[in-house]
Chain A
Amino acid sequence: MKFGILVNEGPYTHQASDTAYQFVKAALAKGHEIYRVFFYHDGVNNATRLTVPPQDDRNIVKRWSELAAQHKLDLVVCIAAAQRRGLMDKSEAKRNGKDADNIAPGFRISGLGQLIEAGIQADRLVVFGA
């Protein structure tokens, strides 16, 4: 089956990102396809490469990046939600006159159309959080 995934909550505060990650891993292990993982609302905070969690805890952001590299996952961060919350890639930083960017490897910033498209293309869109 082809899954679309929506993550609506940020890391650590809420379980949504952890559960989504475990779901994606389990689905891939069973031979399913992950069409896209879309990060919305505070979920965009899962994409900051500047998180430094305690060493004895899981690194949620790094875990997503590694899974993306391993399985060529499409991790998409909503641009409107990201801009509100200070998440940006190099080109967005430049366009908005900011002196830094903070998007972790494997994530890309794009529009909400990518979420709708995931809903259209996937057999199931599974929502985590909110």
Chain B
Amino acid sequence: MSEENAGGVAKKFLYVNRKAPYGTIYALESLEVVLIGAAFEQDVSLAFLGDGVYQLTKGQDTKSLEVKNFSPTYRALEDYDVTKLYVEEGALQARGLSESDLVVPVEVVSAQRMAEIMEGQDVILSF
């Protein structure tokens, strides 16, 4: 699929997830961009801030909401070579969560480190 990478050099894409998985469609549609974008062979990272950390929590049950539980899709990201998932430490702590509550392996980083990660990107898509 390198022909899709018209510039030849991969850019660094960061998807910033800030919203809870349900209640609004942002999390789901952000994930759709990530999956489509994976075909373009760019350098992809995901960041989870604020309520965005809830997107990754285990044991999501959406049955009574009558919306699809899309949290298993995060486990498939590895198959798309999307493996850099950064979670902001303070966001987890403020919500009484730890890394073991999440469906995928992530790197828990400080707000300071998150700022550095953002600084190093070419394209930031914030949802």
Contacts and interface: CB of A to CB of B under 8 A. Distances in A.
A111 B5 CA distance: 16
Given A40-B29, A41-B25, A130 B127 contact: yes
Give the interface centre of A8, A41, A130 by most chain B CB atoms within 10 Å: A130
A112 B6 contact: no
Contacts of B39: 113
A6 B125 contact: yes
Contact of B40 (A113, A125, A127, A130): A113
Interface stretch (A21-29, A55-63, A116-124): A116-124
A120 B5 contact: yes
Contacts of B42: 116, 119-120
Nearest to B11: A120
Given A41-B29, A120-B7, A121-B6, A112 B36 contact: yes
Interface string A92-130: 000000000000000000011101110111000101001
Interface in A67-93: 80-81
A121 B7 contact: yes
A130 B5 contact: no
A119 B123 contact: yes
Contacts of B37: 112-113, 115-116
Contacts of A130: 26, 126-127
A102 B69 CA distance: 31
B32 A119 contact: no
Interface of A: 6, 8, 40-41, 80-81, 111-113, 115-117, 119-121, 125, 127, 130
